[in-house]
Structure 1
């Protein structure tokens, strides 16, 4: 079967590899669509980071490079390994793409398996990936979805779950809450979508006019402001009767954005850092102390996929506006990575398929 394989920095190859078979307790999935994540871009430009090297295997998967990429994907059940009785061939599914040690409690009440030692992701540290025709995944990580939900939109449930968990880390949305999101990239937009679905008034701060318009057109933001045109903290105060935002989400890994959130948050407000920082940040501790700001981190998701799926299936979140491109896996680097690296203002989520019979029209 065809697959996109990560060999090393700036070295991703489209190759023919052996098709997997489902072992006991596994589900074989025919992949429909797979999104390109910012993490994939970092691996391509700066890696290996999450991916193993050629000489150092991942401690849980045991795999070395090359590995198949892709962790944001949807598909159809193609076969069931022995012991899997609660799914059927033909079911539509998405995957919570974790690689976690067998000794870790990943049950429905766990709130910390995503923080376990050596945690990593399918499609980065091994065990196949969504940028392939098929993948075998342990039943625990497979989530059934309604066949009424288009499979292209379903591929965005994984990054949407990141936004869901970020809002959960903030304590959820209370009636009348006003939330400020710093950055309207994919995660910023999807975090805003969760906030809107839960009843918040959402303000987005973003320098790109195209991204601000996407936030407004998709309905995930009530206000989209440019920090190069207005004083964001002052505008937030005007919109909150001088109080400041109740919740704020840092989705850029840019220090000035974090500083802005501290100026715009209300006393005793909550700031959640969603982005991955590749370098140390500076922080004015007096702002944190004198306003009693609650600064929190968030990473990925933990038992959030079921509730995230419900939000989408109920119609409270429409994922279609965020699909800005569809390509064949053969064009992964030239049309996918190149666009997101060099023209990222023009794209939110580019989806990839190995199936040439699928329509690449984003209106479908």
Structure 2
């Protein structure tokens, strides 16, 4: 390690399956060649972190494991051959689960997010460990933070970059009305990016009143539709003079039958993009897609677009002041209370949580 030797042990949240999360003391990892040791300051709980917590999907790791892919902090150590970073520099981390092999057709095209061996480093499955005091990260995934972007705001860069990715795959036009299903952090960050990217109007559809208010206040939506007020398809049709939205983006996933609703919201010739991770089969009406000639696209994570890092694009957008990250961060917890942080994220209706940040 080049300099700045940290303590030998650290606190880390360890996941034993389901809701069994324990904060334990483990050795501080050592950065290898091309790697960086990061002192983590902020880590966000993503909706995907809840899949194993809720029992919807088994972990690919053997218990206990560490996780947390929305993280930011400072450089604490440099492995061999790392250049362009220095000890103490503030950085945001592009999730290690997105590291590709670097040699397959997808990686060579800049699409590391769909690499067949994504998430493997030196033959071992690898992921970010944001819910701990330190983590070792691949140097190319460490992005310097501008002075005006805090570590807390940086935990949303993954969500913002996912928004950039879906809009790169399905570009908007300046005359477009976009309907977004879902008012979690993905939906709100997407709404902000869509408006910066030129959408004429953004309609946000959700089940909770508080996030819908935040959506309008933070520039993520022009109009909102509360599902509890009635059929959201009818509401969007009314707002669009019976035409439907030019583009629809689904951000919820889970086990509800949302995909059929997304298709019903789209106008003839419209586009439906799917960002949510579904945990149950979806039933759709192919004749609806056929008769309206809908384009349906899936959007998985983030990567680069024409050689430009979408994570870096997200940093530039936040730094420019055109995206307001702070209102989306609703809760803060110390690492010792990570079980409470996950409970708040899991039960958003009771807690009012949107993005929860954990501090080590």
TM-score range, shorter-chain basis?
Answer: 0.7 to 0.9
Q: CA deviation at 1:50?
A: 4.1
* Residue in structure 2 matching 1:11, options 1, 20, 29: 20
| 3-state SS in 1 of match to 2:345 | helix
Gaps of 5+ in 2: 1-9, 305-309
Corresponding residue for residue 165 of structure 2: 165
Gaps of 5+ in 1: 54-64, 355-364
Q: 1:255 to 1:40 in 2, by over 3 A?
A: closer
Corresponding residue for residue 95 of structure 1: 93
Corresponding residue for residue 327 of structure 1: 333
TM-score (norm 1): 0.86
Q: 1:95 to 1:223 in 2, by over 3 A?
A: same
Q: Determine the C-alpha separation between the residues in 1 that align with 2:146 and 2:70.
A: 17
| 3-state SS in 1 of match to 2:132 | coil
Q: Determine the C-alpha separation between the residues in 2 that align with 1:210 and 1:193.
A: 17
Q: 1:103 to 1:305 in 2, by over 3 A?
A: closer
Q: CA deviation at 1:120?
A: 3.5
Corresponding residue for residue 346 of structure 2: 341
| 3-state SS in 2 of match to 1:252 | coil
RMSD of aligned Cα (Å): 2.3
Q: 1:248 to 1:136 in 2, by over 3 A?
A: same
TM-score (norm 2): 0.87
Q: CA deviation at 1:290?
A: 0.5
Stretch of structure 1 that moved more, 286-295 or 212-221:
212-221
Q: Determine the C-alpha separation between the residues in 2 that align with 1:343 and 1:232.
A: 21
Q: 1:194 to 1:50 in 2, by over 3 A?
A: farther
- On the 8 A contact 2:182/2:252 being kept in 1, the answer is yes
Number of residue pairs aligned between Structure 1 and Structure 2 = 340
Stretch of structure 1 that moved more, 262-271 or 337-346:
337-346
Q: Which structure 2 residues correspond to residues 241-252 of structure 1 after superposition, within 5 A?
A: 241-252=241-252
Q: CA deviation at 1:332?
A: 0.5
Q: Which structure 2 residues correspond to residues 146-161 of structure 1 after superposition, within 5 A?
A: 146-161=146-161
Q: CA deviation at 1:339?
A: 1.3
* Residue in structure 1 matching 2:73, options 64, 72, 75: 75
Q: Please tell me whether residue 306 in structure 1 is matched to residue 312 in structure 2.
A: yes
Corresponding residue for residue 116 of structure 1: 115
